[in-house]
Structure formats: C-alpha cells, structure tokens
Amino acid sequence: MLCDSTRLRLEPTTDPLLCEALAAHEQAGDGLDSVLHRLSSDPGLKDGLTNLYSVDMSTADPLGFAVQIGEMGVDMRGSLSTLGDYPDRQYILDNVAPHYAIAKSERRAALYRVRSRIQDRFAVYDRLILPTRDGESCLSLSRIRLVVEDAVSPVRQDGLTMRERQCLSLLASGLMAKEIAYALGLSVRTVEKHIESLKRHFGARTTAQAVARGILAEIAMEDRRRSGR
C-alpha cells in the first residue's frame, strides 16, 4: 500500500521506458543486471529527463539507504549519498523513504506518477522501484514530466478572464498566437494582449513561464477542490 501525504499525489502511469523496465524485471526474476543491460540500449535513458539510481536497502532505517547514481538527467540539487542526506528532509520523510521501505518489506515492484513540491520546485515525474527478491537493494528510475521553479506559493488563477483562460489552455496545447487568434475568432493583437496579461498575472518573464505557472495554479486549484478547502 502506497503512503498518503498532503505534499504528494500518486497517479498511474504508462511511461514506455518504465513499463519496458518493469516487464524486463518480471521476466528476469531477481536479475537487476539484465534490466540494466536492457536499459543501457534505450535512448530514453540519455534524454536528459531520466534519473537512474541503485539503492542499497540493507539497513533497517530507510534514511540510511545508500544511493549510487547511475544516470542523472535532472539535477536534484543536493547530496544523495543516503536518503537522509538530501536537503529537503521532509520531502524524503513523507514521499520517498516510505516507498523504499515498502519495496523492501513487500519485495514488489512499484510504478506510479508523482506530483510533489521538492525544495522550491514543483515536479511531476514517474517513478519505478524494482527491488531484488530479498528486498536488500533496488533500482529506481524517475522520469521528469514537468518542473516549475519558484513554486513555493503558486499564484491562483482567480481573476483571469474567460478569454485569458482560453488563451492559457491553447498555449499549453502548443498553439501560437496566430493559431489561437484563428481558433477564438480574435485578432492576433488581441491575443497578444491576453498573453501579456497572463504574464503579468503570474509574474512571468516569458510566455513559457506563464504557461508553466498557469498549469501549476490549475493543479493547486484542483487539489483545493479535492480537499474541500
């Protein structure tokens, strides 16, 4: 059973690289080396979005689990010699150590998507934990989906007009200003004004930053609705 935390949201994931690693683990039984061999030929491992760790879980205290980095596509900004060394200790206590402890005790693979705050970042990532049969070690794969910097206090979407929300949604879908103008029946200049308003609202320097902060605000709003706040 996965842990529950106010700072963590767990969701299913079907990431191809992680699903392939999970299948390889199931076929190999206890052979993590064969999983590593399969992964080594996958270009996804070197795409700059993937972290791969080997974790020694032989100690009783999960905070003492030793971490060896195999691949670090995303800088976690802190020591990972052991789980307890990481600067954001509360994040480790709430959202990381319990999962490895479960993998150790249940000796069963776990694959899920996470939304969480880590230091001053908001991150969405997929995590796969592959324990050995004796539960003494595991491979851990993480695939980053979204990272938003300076995410301690996300700006709410309250106050956005309907058009601004529409523009934000279409920007997040990858449309350019001209395409948004065509889709909404507006002039390009009007759409550009809405985009500038979005940047001011979210305190963003660029359109991409405004979109990222807008997505974060939408997630935070959904979390508040779920919790009844």
Q: Could you report the per-residue pLDDT of 182-221, keeping only the tens digit for each?
A: 999 999 999 999 999 999 998 889 998 888 888 877 776 6
Are the CB atoms for 69 and 104 separated by under 8 Å?
A: no
Class of domain 8-148: alpha beta
Strands 8-11 and 110-118 come out as: antiparallel
* The pLDDT value given to residue 2: 35
* Domain residue extents for the chain: 8-148, 162-227
Give the CB-side neighbour count of residue 55, counting CA atoms within 13 A: 31
Classified by CATH at the fold level, domain 162-227 comes out as Arc Repressor Mutant, subunit A (1.10.10)
Looking at the predicted structure, is the pLDDT value of residue 8 above 60?
Answer: no
| CA–CA distances in Å: residue 125 to residues 27, 44, 52, 136, 197 | 25, 14, 13, 25, 30
* The pLDDT value given to residue 149: 67
* The pLDDT value given to residue 224: 58
Please check whether the two domains, 8-148 and 162-227, share a CATH topology: no
What is the arithmetic mean of pLDDT over 77-84? Answer: 84
Distance in angstroms (rounded) separating the CA atoms of residues 128 and 52: 10
Looking at the predicted structure, is the pLDDT value of residue 31 above 60?
Answer: yes
* The pLDDT value given to residue 100: 93
Confidence at 5, pLDDT banded by 50, 70, 90: very low
What is the arithmetic mean of pLDDT over 161-166? Answer: 92
Q: Is the dihedral of CA 8, 129, 3, 69 positive or negative?
A: negative
Task: Enter the pTM of the model.
Answer: 0.68
Looking at the predicted structure, is the pLDDT value of residue 151 above 70?
Answer: no
Percent of the chain with pLDDT over 90: 37
